[in-house]
Amino acid sequence: MFNTIKKIIKYPRLTQDYPYKSIDSSLFLGRTEINPAECNMCGECVSRCPSQAIVMDKTSNNIGINYDECVFCTLCEEICPTGAAKTTNRFELAEKGKSMLRSNTLIIDENNMTDASHEIICSQLEVNIKKIFGRSLYIREVDSGSCNGCDYEINGLNNPFNDIERLGISFVASPRHADMLLVTGTATRNMQLALAKTYNATPDPKLVVAVGACACSGGIFRDTYATSNGIDSIVPVDVYIPGCPPRPQAIIYGILKALDRTK
């Protein structure tokens, strides 16, 4: 008992001040950016990108990365002959719309389209939602087919360094108690029904946040017989958090963005 108390006193506070203060991100591998001005349009990175996230338009001399598909492997930086691709330490990447993460516009084919009525209802409710949730939020996490990297990072939100409960946010055991679904993974064939049921079991108003490249777009597992390209083909999504996996701070940023609590 004495030893236990000694330990508790030894480490009084380990929790980082993020998001109230910015965090030292100099060591982080954040998103890679390609500068079209330095690029010679050789197309090497486009053909070798493991998740085919780089788009190039030779006519307008434009090149960019779709961050919803990017797996943050930094291969493009490594193989770029002109040094146009550079990895930054930007990690706060969450956006409310997929188009804000993309360099080329998304072509949505008909069967991927979610029910339009959802979107209308969502936009009407959006203002009310944030009023209702105020400063507290209950989250249910759903893994719909991730590699478990994102899930470990979400678990990391509960560790002494991030301690998400200080922000009034906590994880609950059942979707029936939840305000927000934090979804990881590609919505695999076998999880589609479970994901839809979980969504329906969550009381309105609710928010859905897609965590990681797989949930945003299918990531590296796009287009197989058992996966779908992102969870937005099954449920409507409010915020997309890119990353493979996004770090705990990036997830905090995304959750707060969904609540309009980011600066």
User: Could you list the residues that contact other proteins (CB under 8 A)?
Assistant: 3-4, 7-8, 11, 14, 27-29, 48, 50-51, 71-75, 78, 140-156, 158-161, 171, 173-175, 185-186, 188-191, 193-194, 198, 219-221, 223-227, 244-245, 247
CB of 51 to other proteins, least distance (A): 8
CB of 33 to other proteins, least distance (A): 16
- Please enumerate in sequence order all residues whose Cβ is within 8 A of that of 227, keeping only pairs 6 or more positions apart, or say none: 145, 186, 187, 188, 189, 218, 221
Closest CA to 106 of 195, 232, 12: 232
CB of 74 to other proteins, least distance (A): 5
Cβ–Cβ under 8 Å, residues 37 and 45: no
Closer CB to other proteins, residue 75 or residue 125?
A: 75
CA 52 from centroid of its chain's CA atoms: 18
CB of 154 to other proteins, least distance (A): 5
Beta strand spans in 223-263 (E): 239-241
Closer CB to other proteins, residue 85 or residue 142?
A: 142
Q: What are phi and psi of 140, to 5 degrees?
A: -115, 130
CB of 123 to other proteins, least distance (A): 27
Helix and strand counts by DSSP (H, E) for the chain: 8, 9
Closer CB to other proteins, residue 18 or residue 126?
A: 18
Closer CB to other proteins, residue 62 or residue 155?
A: 155
